[in-house]
Amino acid sequence: MTEVDFQARIAALSAELNRHLHAYHVEDAPTIPDAEYDRLFAELQQLEAAHPQWALPDSPTQRVGAAPLPQFDQVTHSVPMLSLNNGFSDEDIENFDRRVREGLDAAAAVEYAAEVKYDGLAINLRYEHGLLVQAATRGDGYTGEDVTTNIRTIRSIPLRLNTDTPPAVLDVRGEVLMFKADFEALNARQRDAGQKEFVNPRNAAAGSLRQLDSRITAQRKLSFFAYGVGALEGAPMPVSHAALLDWYRMLGLPVAKEAAVVRGYEGLMAYYARIGAARPTMPYEIDGVVYKANLLQDQRMLGFVSRAPRFALAHKFPAEEALTTVLAIEVQVGRTGAITPVARLASVFVGGVNVTNATLHNEDEVRRKDVRVGDTVIVRRAGDVIPEVLAVVLERRPQPEAAMYVLPRVCPVCGSHVVREEGEAIARCSGGLFCSAQRKEAIRHFAGRRMMDIEGLGDRYIDNLVEHGKVQRVADLYALTLDDLLEMKRLADERDGTTPETVVQGKVATKWAENLLEAIAASRNPPLERLLFALGIRHVGESTGKTLAEWLGRFELIRRVPSALLRVLPDIGGVVADSIAEFFAEPKNQQAIDALLAAGVAPQGEHAPSAKLREKLDPVKLMAALGIPKLTEARCKQLVEQDVTLQVLAHLPVFNVFGLPAGVAESLENWMREEGHREQLIALDHLRNDLLAQLPEAVAAGPLTGKTFVLTGTLPSLSRDQAGAMIEAQGGKVSGSVSKKTHYLVAGADAGSKLTKAQDLEVTIIDEAGLLALLSAQG
């Protein structure tokens, strides 16, 4: 044979084998005996090995797996993979149908695409010019993991689309799952090999897909069904969901047989009943059905609400329920001291997992359900994840019965009083950082991934470090020595009665300790927003931390700004501002922070306060932010217009002047009479002047000055932060929600309610390209 012959033979074999694969795995109609397939496969493998230059990218030999990866790479989805809203009751479905009809102004019954909801893993397959180039997990919806080599091993996924005119880019959304039969077979193999069995098909599929060694994945029988689309370039978007599925079938992609088009509420319910009846005999597990407005045009019109489409709903089957007994009711103490009762249960298999604990939320909840030790209870996994005690089976309550549960009046950890604020559902331990449980939780929070990110400082170590007095405050982490850690481990081993590893495997233990110390040291320079989040200030999470860092720039400043100034920042109101100011005013916290700084913790990326702050330092806004009852912004404006600045206000002897109504004047007077308030005002005024002096001049009047923008959806190339920064750099303003005052709405993919609202208000809507044009045209 000549080289040309080899090339032709390889191509022919690839094509033929791919046809057989498709017939077998997608059409369920085998075309040749397995032995014959294996023979052709072996021939192809041989030829490719001898003539690798002719091997095709979609050769079936690509499916056997490759050497292990060191890790999975991160992939950013060009169109986010959002989640669906869930419906359980008939009423939920009725509401869904009604909202859709209202949204579409539809008189007649709406046409829906209905399909089963697989219990598997959502995956995005990217095809470029017809070739599978990348497969990624859903992840958090925006970023997932690159599992291409593993996905290639799934026989029913075409490596090349069956078309001569493939789109330049096609993101196929679908579900990877394991058939029940394949799951049973796998577990039988695992059992024979003495390996751990998987608890359910979903976990087996997830575990197989997360193998770094794709040769293992290749041995697991995974399946795939396509049901959605992300990015699509170079081909028109099908006009309906049903048309999309038809197109997929033509391209050789597996699509579930159960997909159907139905009409109106009755159609939905009939489909649900039909699938529910067929469910036990289906070859794979499903946890419900999915409804989507069939017409793409309808989907567009309905749009999105925050993170979920308004045009689709997952109609879930009732969660599986199981009976078990309550062994004990214990309480947990959270970071904020929250006392949460938890039921310890006799282990029971429900919803695909073994459940041994279930939260009882709070005292009222336990009372309402009247859960007692020894009771038989109905348990289910709420929202498919979190186990929940549904109800007590009273007939099975043992005699003599246990007493009704009462929440402990003192903290079981530290003995401090448990307090329940008026109107609050949650009881809290009053011990603060005196309570070791709260201390542990505070340290755990501090070390967390999204905060200081100290790798290797897990719960067990934190427990031991606190128990053995090595760490009292977070700052103590930075003073830990190798000896401290080794001693801690020795004590812990002694107490647990385990073999003291330090002695037996001194080297291993030392290495562990060195790594941990290194991780702690490496956490010394976090971005400012993360440090703020890590401190555990109530109401300050990731987002609020970011706001503070962005607007005020320096930790030293944030530490001393009064509540009134915090309150003028976006998304920070009275409650949050007070919480922050009180935290930093508390001497214990001050000491803890000073110790942290002394230990060398220094946030990186500090900067001067944002120039945007200038407008927030407006005397009217600041005065209104003081939180004086009845003193509205309008009243403040009135005062400032009569030259009553903060400074003047602080020294005013009387208040029933300036045309203020008697009630307002009285309220003002009462406030001023309280101790420290006049001083507060003066300090605030000084701080304001200080800040104004150091703030960069207001952004030079740019072309966008006076224009307000709102960003929504996902832009193709810019993050929202980047787009916002660009707008602000040219003098524009970015606001969080659409109003009449909005000049432009910048809408990306999957824009939600903001888009609808902008349309209602007839606000100019532009996309990323439009924004860039606007920016560059004038910049």
> Under the rule (CB under 7 A), what is the footprint of DNA?
83, 86, 199, 203, 305-307, 332, 334-336, 338, 340, 342, 353-359, 382-387, 424-425, 538-545, 570-577, 735-741, 752-753
Angle at 75 between CA 72 and CA 78, to 5 degrees: 165
117 catalytic residue (yes or no): yes
- 728 annotated ligand-binding residue: no
Which residue in 414, 417, 466 sits closest to 441, CA to CA?
A: 466
Distance CA 729, CA 212 (A): 44
Instruction: Return the number of the residue (31 or 356) whose C-beta is nearest DNA.
Output: 356
Nearest approach in angstroms of CB 682 to DNA is 25
Structure tokens at 640: 């400032």
User: Which is nearer to DNA, 469 or 573 (by Cβ)?
Assistant: 573
Place of tokens 């919803």: 351
User: Which residue lies nearer to DNA by CB, 170 or 204?
Assistant: 204
Nearer to DNA, 59 or 708 (CB): 708
Q: Is 414 annotated as a binding residue?
A: yes
SS3 113: strand
The neighbour count for residue 641, using CB atoms within 10 Å, is 10
* Residue 241: CB minimum distance to DNA, A: 21
**Cβ atoms of residues 465 and 374 within 8 Å:** no
Residue closer to DNA, measured from CB, 477 or 577? 577
168 or 575: whose CB is closer to DNA?
575
319: left (phi over 0), alpha (psi -120 to 50) or beta: beta
Residue among 47 and 81 whose Cβ is closer to DNA = 81
- Identify the active-site residue in 117, 616, 733, 754: 117
Angle CA(417)–CA(420)–CA(421) in degrees, nearest 5? 125
Q: Select from 433, 431, 667, 453 the least CA-distant residue to 542.
A: 453
Task: State the nearest-atom distance from the C-beta of 332 to DNA, in Å.
Answer: 5
Q: How far is the CB of 343 from DNA (least distance, A)?
A: 8
Q: How far is the CB of 259 from DNA (least distance, A)?
A: 23
Q: Taking a C-beta distance cutoff of 8 angstroms, is the pair 737, 694 a contact?
A: no
Task: Name the token pair of 8.
Answer: 């032709």
115 in a known ligand binding site: yes
**Does 24 appear as a known binding residue?**
no
The answer to whether residues 377 and 355 touch, using CB atoms and an 8 Å cutoff, is no
CA 285, CA 317: separation in Å to the nearest integer?
Answer: 12
Min CB(639)–DNA separation in Å: 21
Helix-strand-coil split of the chain, %, nearest 5: 45, 20, 35
Q: Classify residue 650 as exposed, middle or buried by CB count within 10 Å of its CB (0-12, 13-18, 19+).
A: middle
- 138 annotated to bind ligand: yes
- Is 84 assigned a ligand-binding role in the annotation? yes
Radius of gyration of the chain (CA): 32
In total, the chain counts a number of residues equal to 779
Establish whether 265 is an annotated binding residue: no
CA-to-CA distance for 248 and 172, rounded, in angstroms? 9
Is there a binding annotation on residue 292? yes
38 is in an annotated binding site: yes
Other CB atoms within 10 A of residue 403 CB: 8
Helix (H) or strand (E) holding 339: strand 338-350
The least CB distance from residue 328 to DNA, in Å, is: 13
Binding-site positions for Zn(2+): 411, 414, 435
Binding residues for NAD(+): 34-38, 83-84, 115, 138, 175, 292, 316
Annotated catalytic residues are 117
Residue ranges of the annotated binding site are 34-38, 83-84, 115, 138, 175, 292, 316, 411, 414, 435
